[in-house]
Chains A and B, each alone.
Chain A
Amino acid sequence: MSLDAKIPQGPLAEKWSKHKFNLKLVNPSNKRKYDIIVVGTGLAGASAAASLAELGYNVKAFCFQDSPRRAHSIAAQGGINAAKNYQNDGDSVYRLFYDTIKGGDYRAREGNVYRLAEVSVNIIDQCVAQGVPFAREYGGLLDNRSFGGSQVSRTFYARGQTGQQLLLGAYSALNRQIHLGKVKMYTRHEMLDVVTIDGHAKGIITRNMKTGAIDTHAGHAVLLCTGGYGNVFYLSTNAMGSNVTAAWRAHKRGAYFANPCYTQIHPTCIPVSGDHQSKLTLMSESLRNDGRVWAPKTVEVAEKLRKKEITAAQVKEDERDYFLERKYPSFGNLVPRDVASRNAKEVVDEGKGVGGSGFAVFLDFAEAIQRLGEDTVRAKYGNLFDMYYQITDENPYQQPMRIYPAVHYTMGGLWVDYNLSTNVPGLYALGECNFSDHGANRLGASALMQGLSDGYFVIPYTLGDYLATIGPKAVDTSHPAFEQTKQDVVDYVNKLLSLKGNKTVSEYHRELGHIMWEYCGMARTAEGLTKAKAMIQALKADFWKNAIVTGENEEFNAALENAGRVADFIELGELMVDDALMRRESCGGHFRLESQTPEGEALRDDENYAFVAAWEFKGENQPEELHKEELVYENVKLTQRSYK
């Protein structure tokens, strides 16, 4: 199958408007004849479900949490970008587009990214109209802050809880449609398969997590808004329940998985404290506006700090290496995430790490507190400082924070065209679940922007075109494909429940995480990846022999849910390794040690790798087939990224 991204022709700035005009419309009185399934209720899912219901479609929305408000978008801290140029500091749609393309290390589509920048301004308007309480200046107008990878202040925020406020806004819009009867909400339901008929997605199979009931749901289209797959690393900043299952099952039914190896390691997370660790906590990147990243210049001083013979405050100014400010004078502490993470790893690898484990560097606010006063710092970052204090029992107003990179976001995901359609007609992917807008590295405050862009302002237009094409003929679950797919799911669940070995699912998950972090994390080599592939295959075989899954299907059974998710993560892990091995270049979050500049920066190979890698599932234990979508740059010149 050829991969047609369906990017509209014409000048960049006109593509989206022209495309909107060319898309077919569904007559208002026909919209109620269409049923749309939305899986996931984070920013992308909740905004899509609400907006489509407002247009008149019948929506069925699903989430695995006990309430749609708990989707993991809720945890995003720092902010949301928009090219409003309220600060009069030179921002524009084109600059946001350019920063995002460059930040993504030239591995994203121009057309998609420009559209994202274009609709970013509408998102802020929409959220304010919903009553989202963004931070404001004393004059009553909206405040902005700056974020990594950009030299303008274009990030809108609500203290350190921007994701929460935006999600509660989308949740309120969703609630209104539930009240009006246009959205039927299914909570504690997990999607376990996609039903396809004649190559088109026509429904899903779900498991009711309270009763175990396995049900069929039909619709004219299925929208997957199920987030990212960072938990393949076991430890990540994702919520415990975040999983790849919906996307992976869709992949196994024909949807291509694109750029799986592009994962983002966030530079400012709280370091691991021990083997019991279940997840990692991010400290917002906004902290890098005022916090200064440093490590001791010498191994000797680092050693003393690790042994607690001296405190950070006792390290003299000339014994400190503010390595980001030193190496990147123009961006300083605000270099993009991949650059900041890699540099922290480098320092730690040289033996200059701090904290008990040595896997940490400092993020120091002493200078900011002196310059701005403790009250101002508290007003800006109070909740983040409290969170840090709570977790580490160390007061960041008095001593520098210890930070270390952690897996945070996955740029890869289901392949979609410009319309957000996967290669399976009728099956769409929105938000972090798709691969489309961030290339090989996502800039801070762009995930919220993309989720809401897809849900509020893209899918309401592009979905209509498909629906108008297939027509409003009613769909139901009577087709044998539903019963067949349901039976497949029942068999799969029974197979999981039959596992009564001697190793817990969490133990497998942790092992997978170690393999992924070690060989497919911040730095990757052909040798390591080859080794990782064999290890994952062995882990998979062992899982299906020796895992323990307790309980039965007909009850609330977290062990069963987790087993299915980890089984899918293991399979995904192998594909990530394949993808990383295939891509013999460094770009963004994908750093191949074999491909670096003399200064140790990521070295792209545009001649051979300026493409999207879209993988096709070919059957259990079969190698996946690679399809390439060439990336065409008509507006920006591909250059070596420099933040010096």
Chain B
Amino acid sequence: MSGHMNLTLKVWRQKNAQTPGKFVTYKAENISPDMSFLEMLDVVNESLTHKKEDPIHFDHDCREGICGMCSLYINGRPHGPKRAITTCQLHMRSFSDGETITIEPWRSAAFPIVKDLATDRSAFDRIQQAGGYVSVNTGGVPDANSTPIPKVIADEAFNSATCIGCGACVAACKNASAMLFTSAKITQLGMLPQGQPERYSRVQAMVAQMDQEGFGNCTNTGACEAECPKEITLNNIAFMNNDFFSAKLFREQHAHDHTGGE
């Protein structure tokens, strides 16, 4: 058991959105440095269960950094101390024996608490529903190679498309802004030929929904970019702002509700 660690956890516990929450202190003992952060919480939960106590609730699923479900605020940083990874990819070797670790949920009015460390991020889905798509039905589309797309454009669009919708950008932002999240989809589709027909109506619809959900605005601090597990860059926000102003100034005729056409 050499190299195993004993840690103190200060964990936010809250029964539901209506009940006030508080920090509760737990011991995490005999933790292997090869465990992931969530496996460490599994160990704590197993011992709570044996004591017939309510385990700590946290969202998680794929445990390989791609589903975007896990969402812990660890020692004041979304997804913990390392860059470009999610909480499930964080290993205990990033901590030291005897350390106290503070674990909180995402904090944003637009992400109400479900229980303990799990939050409701459905606002993100509603932003996507407002216009994060190309309005094509199944079938009747052209051959995939009929429109060549320069590799650099495809690669850039891909970089934007890697957003996992975890909400770390919102959690990191002092304004709880969702602009990095929203702009990633707008940039992906705005760069590709397929996204052009709805480019300007899309940006207006998605930004309007983003504002309606109660997210704050961007003040160019860059915390979102620094904490994004997929390294989505601020360039996406610049792209979105550019398209948004362009739409507002020159393309008001496209400002009708983005229905996606029917």
Check A165–B161 contact: CB distance below 8 A. Answer: yes
CA distance A145 to B1 in the complex (A): 44
Check B138–A460 contact: CB distance below 8 A. Answer: yes
- Nearest B residue (CB) for A282: B64
| B134 sits at the interface (CB 8 A) | yes
State which residues 489-516 of A face B: CB under 8 Å: 500, 502, 504, 506-507
What residues of A have a CB within 8 angstroms of the CB of B141 in the complex? 125-126, 128-129
Contact of B134 among A65, A130, A139, A141 (CB under 8 A): A130
Check B144–A179 contact: CB distance below 8 A. Answer: no
Check A68–B54 contact: CB distance below 8 A. Answer: no
B104 → chain A, closest Cβ, in Å?
A: 17
Contact of A391 among B89, B114, B195 (CB under 8 A): B89
Contact of A67 among B36, B114, B124 (CB under 8 A): B124
User: By CB atoms of chain B within 10 A, which of A134, A179, A502 has the most?
Assistant: A179
| A7 sits at the interface (CB 8 A) | no
Contact of A387 among B64, B120, B145 (CB under 8 A): B64
What residues of A have a CB within 8 angstroms of the CB of B38 in the complex? 278
A359 → chain B, closest Cβ, in Å?
A: 15
| B203 sits at the interface (CB 8 A) | no
What residues of B have a CB within 8 angstroms of the CB of A281 in the complex? 63-64
- Nearest A residue (CB) for B124: A67
Q: Knowing A278-B38, A550-B55 touch, does A138 contact B151 (C-beta < 8 A)?
A: yes
Check B162–A161 contact: CB distance below 8 A. Answer: yes
| A277 sits at the interface (CB 8 A) | yes
CA distance A456 to B189 in the complex (A): 21
| B93 sits at the interface (CB 8 A) | yes
Interface of chain B, main secondary structure: loop
Check B59–A66 contact: CB distance below 8 A. Answer: yes
Check A180–B260 contact: CB distance below 8 A. Answer: yes
B35 → chain A, closest Cβ, in Å?
A: 5
Check B57–A504 contact: CB distance below 8 A. Answer: no
Q: Knowing A136-B149, A175-B129, A504-B50 touch, does A556 contact B57 (C-beta < 8 A)?
A: yes
| A86 sits at the interface (CB 8 A) | yes
- Please choose the segment from B39-47, B215-223, B242-250 that sits at the chain A interface, where 4 or more of its residues have CB less than 8 A away: B39-47
- Please choose the segment from A8-16, A47-55, A245-253, A480-488 that sits at the chain B interface, where 4 or more of its residues have CB less than 8 A away: A47-55
Contact of A140 among B50, B135, B148 (CB under 8 A): B148
User: By CB atoms of chain A within 10 A, which of B57, B115, B122, B161 has the most?
Assistant: B161
Q: In the complex, how many residues of chain A place their beta carbon closer than 8 angstroms to a beta carbon of chain B?
A: 83
| B60 sits at the interface (CB 8 A) | yes
What residues of B have a CB within 8 angstroms of the CB of A50 in the complex? 138
What residues of A have a CB within 8 angstroms of the CB of B130 in the complex? 179
CA distance A550 to B164 in the complex (A): 32
| A558 sits at the interface (CB 8 A) | yes
What residues of B have a CB within 8 angstroms of the CB of A126 in the complex? 136, 138-139, 141
Check B61–A241 contact: CB distance below 8 A. Answer: yes
| B208 sits at the interface (CB 8 A) | no
CA distance A124 to B60 in the complex (A): 31
What residues of A have a CB within 8 angstroms of the CB of B138 in the complex? 47, 50-51, 54, 126, 173, 456-457, 460
Check B66–A75 contact: CB distance below 8 A. Answer: yes
| A279 sits at the interface (CB 8 A) | yes
State which residues 165-194 of B face A: CB under 8 Å: 165, 188-189, 192, 194
Contact of B145 among A54, A142, A185 (CB under 8 A): A142
Q: Knowing A69-B68, A140-B148, A140-B150 touch, does A556 contact B34 (C-beta < 8 A)?
A: no
Contact of A66 among B53, B120, B132, B135 (CB under 8 A): B120
Check A158–B61 contact: CB distance below 8 A. Answer: no
A167 → chain B, closest Cβ, in Å?
A: 10
Contact of A128 among B59, B194, B259 (CB under 8 A): B194
| A276 sits at the interface (CB 8 A) | yes
Contact of B68 among A70, A134, A159, A161 (CB under 8 A): A70
B69 → chain A, closest Cβ, in Å?
A: 5
B260 → chain A, closest Cβ, in Å?
A: 5
CA distance A558 to B46 in the complex (A): 12
CA distance A125 to B131 in the complex (A): 21
What residues of A have a CB within 8 angstroms of the CB of B157 in the complex? 131, 133
- Nearest A residue (CB) for B93: A393
Q: Knowing A72-B67, A129-B136, A240-B60 touch, does A158 contact B158 (C-beta < 8 A)?
A: yes
What residues of A have a CB within 8 angstroms of the CB of B118 in the complex? 66, 556
A434 → chain B, closest Cβ, in Å?
A: 20
What residues of A have a CB within 8 angstroms of the CB of B42 in the complex? 276, 278, 506
What residues of A have a CB within 8 angstroms of the CB of B194 in the complex? 128-131
| A477 sits at the interface (CB 8 A) | no
B92 → chain A, closest Cβ, in Å?
A: 10
Check B161–A133 contact: CB distance below 8 A. Answer: yes
State which residues 260-288 of A face B: CB under 8 Å: 273-274, 276-279, 281-282
Contact of B63 among A69, A142, A164, A279 (CB under 8 A): A279
7 contacts between A and B (CB under 8 A): A69-B165, A126-B139, A129-B136, A133-B155, A239-B67, A278-B63, A550-B49
Known: A241-B61, A279-B63, A558-B55. 9 other contacts (CB 8 A): A70-B67, A125-B141, A126-B139, A130-B134, A138-B151, A175-B132, A179-B260, A456-B138, A550-B54
* Interface, chain B (partner A; CB < 8 A): 15-16, 32, 34-36, 38-39, 42-43, 46, 49-50, 52-55, 57, 59-69, 85, 89, 91, 93, 114-115, 118, 120-122, 124-125, 128-139, 141-145, 147-151, 154-155, 157-158, 161-162, 164-165, 188-189, 192, 194-195, 259-260, 262
